[in-house]
Structure 1
């Protein structure tokens, strides 16, 4: 490798170290971004494992001018075929589909479509900054005053902190709670969508949710809470139809997510690490081996595997996610499997569609609560408290 002007390497210890040792400021190295899976992460948290594998988890461990490529261009068309969607559904999903060979990571995510030439320095290409920043993500949330395990005063404090972040926001609520949202949001960007609770799509399952609640060991839950959890994808789909801020990416956030000032960032959500053709969500607990084998969440025990508090994707990904969510929820209900907790639905989807659900693991040095890691990952803090 010392005789090479530039390198294209595979994911192997020898090639990684050879390129690393041969690195100079003018030397370009192209490497594949590692495709993580649960087994890889279980190994990576073992301190006996090599630095090379640990480095794969942290983009800052790479030299500044390395180019990381993540091949990710056929996931959605392949799933459309697998799911046997009709032509009308397929056309709607593919309307905003980004067909491209790679997601490119160089400390930030830049698109091939806006590249005009490689600089050989920090970024993979020269970027038209106006084009790159033109489409900011839309954050979608909702607030309905239902019974909660937290007091109204406590939840209002969290909500107030969240509503002080200056992102483009679309929020669902009812007439009663609308003034509170407006008060906390002030002059920051807000599209308020008034919708009565009984008009929500998943309210039609209220009787089924009541039966599930009877079997729920956590009585701080409620049928109403199940409805809100299940409705998250529908909330986003409704905002996509109007696309108030002309966004490519949409971010679902629970309105009470900001529970610690350490996680507050005015830069959230940054486009860095957002990927087309996938839904990104945080991983909370590892799946059991039998869940992986059966591609189905356990009927009993720990269901908190994939965090639903922040979910990120582009337009076609959310549209496809909506179809998959509907089918998965129906299947679980038809088989009398308790699915009031959205964790079971999300976990099952992640198990069945691993190339579509991009599970975000915390960095090896992260010491905080996994539930809030996505707040840091998709801000300029990049996972650091």
Structure 2
């Protein structure tokens, strides 16, 4: 499933208004940035920082980061703007259209895309080339957009998914929890074993595929220039056919294709499914939701390329104080400040230097500690698997068409062709 990962203090907020919307009266041609005066020079004067729903829970943390920056650079003054969770995308659009975008803003990649298209965000690859060596590759790649030349954000904090297995159920049905499936074929094979030995009472597989699964199967999801979706390929059809056969063979819950399906994570929590995916802290939440299950859970790295969920800081290309803006974005996203944030909330830092931090890289010996290390280690190769242009309306179309293919009500090719055609209609609106 596509996940729009928002600020730690938020529930998930829809970004549909951003992804298909223009910037009102903005007349700036696509990707035509106002030539910055300079990004180097004395860091002084006023500079603004906009965050997304971090007050009041993280007020002390953010203010401490700001105080440290002002102490590091005497003469600089940071104005901190924190916007509520609801309506943040519309607020950013309004700021951009009116020319009041703050110097530095917290923008996830899908929020940054329309601004980058209008030339309103600084290309840090040109302005701050050193940054290209200091952040994990996937975090930087998240701010490079098809059809545009540049990198339009500093990765701030990250997360990814890992696999979680119910070791008690795997053992009960003759499988080895120390050697869980590492790919789809092995997953289907072991799911068949669980079905046969449990009499269909327990499932190993309990979710249907999405675009991320196609990406991991080597399917090219979008044209290089971002002009069209391209995931209706023979490889994609083959993957859907595997799921269709698994569904026909009873390896997936019958209601998995309906709106009434409880969800993979809930079935796992209830002991009705032996596998789920989740962030690096999922076992910690299980300790609250199902304390008896939590000790039985073991983790493994995500199958294929781990998915990346990223928040970042983008610099306004029209900032009147670029030296301070770039320095501030760098300061907020440096290894020390990100590590301090990660001690407060379950996130991971985006800097390469963080790899040696034992808080992330060494387990305390618990299964929760092991999962955290698995997730953190995965970030070195994690990527955003779905294009940022793929929005919630498109996700609904894909889910509907994939369900038709898996149920046998359409061929895989028919479902994929329809999904691509409808998604491209939305893309070109």
Q: Please report the TM-score for the alignment, with normalisation by the length of structure 2.
A: 0.28
Larger RCO (alpha carbons 8 Å, 6+ apart): 2
Q: Please report the TM-score for the alignment, with normalisation by the length of structure 1.
A: 0.30
